[in-house]
Every structure is written in C-alpha cells, then in structure tokens.
Chain A
C-alpha cells in the first residue's frame, strides 16, 4: 500500500516502510556473501605468483616482440580454413535450425512431444562447448577442417534455433489467421503468414552467429580440428613467441573484419 496517511493528507511512496527495510536487508546480505566469497578465493590463491604477474607479463611481452612477420606467408591458408569452418558451419547450422525452430515453437509444433524433443536438441547443442564437440569429432571423422566445420555446425544449431523459435512465437497471429481464412493449408499458412514475418530474424541470427563462429573457430585447431589454432598450438609448444604474437595479431584482424562485415550486413537487413 504505497499511499500513506499523514496529517497533511495522503502521501505516496514507492514502497511501504517494511518493504523498504527488506530491500536494505537484501543488499546487506548480498554484501556479506561477497566478502565471504572473497575470503575463500584469497585462501586458495598463491599470492606470490599474483604479485609476480607484472614482471612475468613484461617478460612474455618482450619475447613476443617484434612479431615475426615472415611467418605471415604460412598463415593465409589457415586463416582461409578458419573462415571456411565458420561460414560453412554456420550455413549447416542455419539449414538445420529453421526446421528445428518450427517444430519447437508452440504455435507451429505438430505435437507437445515433438516440441520437447526439439528443445532437448537445442539444449544439448548449446550446453556442450564447440571445443568439446571438436574433440569428439576429431576422434570420429579424423583431424582436419571437416571435424571443425561439423563441430561449429552442431554447436550453433541450438543457439540459432532458440532465437528463431522465440521469434516464431512472437509473430502477429492475425496475419496467419487471415491466410487461414482464405482456405490456405497449414504449410501455406507457414510460408505465407509466418516466414515473411521471421525472415529478418533468420537473416540477423545467421549473421550474428557467423560472427561468433569466426571467433570460435580460431581456437578449434588446438584439438586438431583445423584452422589457425593448429599453428597457434604448434608455436606455443616450441616456445616460438614471435610467431605466437603474429598469429594473435592475425586472429585479431580476422575478428575485427568479421565484426565489421556482420555489423554492416545487419544494418542493411534491419
């Protein structure tokens, strides 16, 4: 009851005094938890190593500079592989995500059990990191670009399908109803009434996911699934720090370009 009687007539406050005290108590409890957690972390930390960090960092920095630019010539191919893994992986994911999304959205799913199965696929795909998918796939299909592409594809289905099915659930149902009223079949209601409404989402999700996947696929080589990660791993293993810095710069550049492209494309769609 935010309206409170006073001598000068009714006054209005956002919360009653009791609620206000509860809010303060909530903040106090939160603060206590934070202090306690910090104590736990502090006990498990070897502070000597942490205080040592700046000089260690300086040391690695010194060994990394200057980058070995001559190594660049060997990096173009892995960069190309990385981009291919991301692009083809995203394409596979999108092709599979659209039907999954239609089967998962509560207004288009044929049956509750189908929806449950699709939600399981979405969760399974999302809960396992692409690096772990790659690890499994390297064993199954052998090391190389194919393993990486499939890993990225599997990892992306869930995220893409989730965003698409949510947008299917938010469509304007009246447009679909109008198509239904003309005598359109369920399939026609879908392609005529629903697809035009979610097309911008599908395009947006695809570009957004591609951007994430370019970043994700730079690391896959560490487990042998193709791309620039292979070179990174090799260079770290032989302590060739000047090569490592070159690779990091190349990765930074690639990600920068992919972000730029996806921002441009998204701007054009919306």
Chain B
C-alpha cells in the first residue's frame, strides 16, 4: 500500500508543484492521475521514487517512510517500484535483453552489471516477460531499432522484472498512436491484474483514463480536486479539473471507442 501524507513540493524557482497532497492507494489498485499540463502529475510520481525530493510531507510504501531514507535504503525501496516513462527512456544503444535486465540492477553488484553477469533466474524471467509481451524475436535487437510500441513494451518488462509492488507510469501513451496507446494501456492493466500490482498512471487522455482505470484522481495546480470512479467524471468535474470546455463529446467518444475495441480489435 502506498500512502502520501500532506506531500508538498516547491521547486527552486518558487513554483509550488504539489500542495499538501494526501492520497492512499491500496494494493492492486490501478489509479489514473489526470490533470492539465503543469498540474504536478509528473512531480507526484517522481516524488514517490525520489527522482524528485519532496519539500514537505511523508510517503509510506507499506510502513516504510521514504523521504528520510539513506541512499542505500533508497535503492532497496526503488527496487519495489517499477517506473515506466513517456519516451520509454530505454538505453538506446543497448540490446532489448540488456535493457530488460537493467531492471535487476538494484539486485546485482557493480561487477555483475559491468560484465552483464545476471543470475540465471533473472535471465529466465526476462525471457518469460519478453514472451508475454510478444517480443521474443527482438531479444538481440538494439533498442533504437524498435518502434514506439515495442520500446514501451520493453520499458514495461524492465519495470516488471524488478518484481515491484507498485508501478509508477508517467504518460505511457503520449508518444504513441491511438491504437498502440490502447494496446499498451490494456497490457499494463492485464499485467497489473496478473501480478496484483498497484499502479499510478499519469495520463493526458481522459478517455483512456476512464477506459482502463478503476479509480481516477484529478490534479489541478498541485491539489487533488477529484478522487473517485471513472464514471464520476461528469462534464462539471472535468471543467473543475481542466477549465471550461465542451466535455460532453469527450465522454461520449470514450464510450464509443470502448465499444469499438470490444468488437474484436486484437490487443
């Protein structure tokens, strides 16, 4: 379980990115985090694994408080949180296999990582994951040879091989076309269900958020303004989060898309 308590982040520039955010995510729950650009979605996710250091408040993963950890303890806690990035953030010049195995770096020592001497079980797990996301034929390809959707699937494998309890997913579909976006979101949802993972997914696309999450949190100027079911996202709520706009179409369209996809577009 992840629990944020009065979390705040003020950047050196003076911008208050997060203002007293409290949030509780039980095990296995898939949460979509929506909000306009600059609302603090990325900052929130990055505070959780301390790529960004919060300036106030507490973060608990299980019963460990994260903000006060030493760097060695922090590395151990980071292993329990897999991160998936908007532009994949694969190491471009390494192979797919090396990229997937890099998810185990928190478990191996310096020399093992230098000579890529990963334990046999890790390699087997990497093969299983790559098979699960249909990338077995790409194992020895360099990451920069892959298409966007393939890269994101490698990114997913890298996060999952950490054997995490929680996935932090930062705009996973922002660089992908609509169909691939849906496939990636569906894959993330299925994998979370298979492994009982909780996930926080930052996402721009309201329709996608409604389609693939069980809970939506709306962030506006660093504060939570909505926390509830996807169905609760009425035009009024969206106006509250994003500002005035004709939201009826957005919501209808989401339902249309879902219906279309249920009529047999393969994942």
Whether a CB of chain A sits under 8 angstroms from the CB of B85 is yes
Determine the chain B residues whose CB is within 8 A of the CB of A183 once the complex forms.
75-79, 105-107, 162
A181 touching B78 by the CB < 8 A rule? Answer: yes
Known: A178-B85, A181-B83, A183-B78. A188 touches B90 (CB 8 A): no
Partner of B78, one of A182, A191, A192: A182
**Interface residue? B102 (CB, 8 A):** yes
In terms of DSSP, what is the predominant structure of the interface of chain B?
Answer: mixed
- A92 sits at the interface (CB 8 A): no
| B89 on interface, CB distance cutoff 8 Å | yes
Q: Are B106 and A196 in contact (CB under 8 A)?
A: no
Residues of A within 8 A of B76 (CB): 183
| A interface size (C-beta, 8 A) | 21
- Encode B97-122 as 1/0 by CB contact (under 8 A) with A: 00000111111001001100000000
The docked-state distance in angstroms from the alpha carbon of A200 to that of B92 is: 12
Q: Is the CB of B102 within 8 A of A192?
A: yes
Q: How far is the CA of A200 from the CA of B103 in the complex (A)?
A: 24
Q: A178-B158, A179-B105, A180-B51 in contact; A185/B110 too (CB < 8 A)?
A: yes
Min CB distance, B163 to chain A, in Å? 11
**Cβ-defined partner of A197 (8 Å) among B82, B85, B92:** B92
Measured between C-beta atoms, what is the minimum distance from A269 to chain B in Å? 12
Q: Does B93 contact A (CB under 8 A)?
A: yes
Question: Across the interface, which residues of A come within 8 angstroms of B93, CB to CB?
Answer: 196-197, 199-200
Given A191-B114, A192-B105, A182-B79 contact (CB < 8 Å) = yes
Across the interface, which residues of A come within 8 angstroms of B106, CB to CB? 182-184
Q: Does B240 reach chain A (CB closer than 8 Å)?
A: no
Instruction: Say whether B89 contacts A188, CB under 8 Å.
Output: no
Per a CB cutoff under 8 Å, which of B81, B91, B92, B168 touches A179? B91
A174, closest chain B residue (CB): B89
Residue of B nearest to A196 (CB): B93
* Chain B residues whose C-beta falls within 8 Å of the C-beta of A196 in the assembled complex: 91-94
A178 touches B110 (CB 8 A): no
**B75 near A175: Cβ-Cβ < 8 Å:** no
18 A-B residue pairs with CB within 8 Å: A174-B85, A175-B89, A175-B92, A181-B49, A181-B81, A181-B83, A182-B79, A182-B102, A183-B162, A184-B106, A184-B113, A185-B75, A188-B113, A191-B110, A191-B113, A191-B114, A193-B91, A200-B93
User: A residues touching B (Cβ–Cβ < 8 Å)?
Assistant: 172, 174-175, 177-185, 187-188, 191-193, 196-197, 199-200
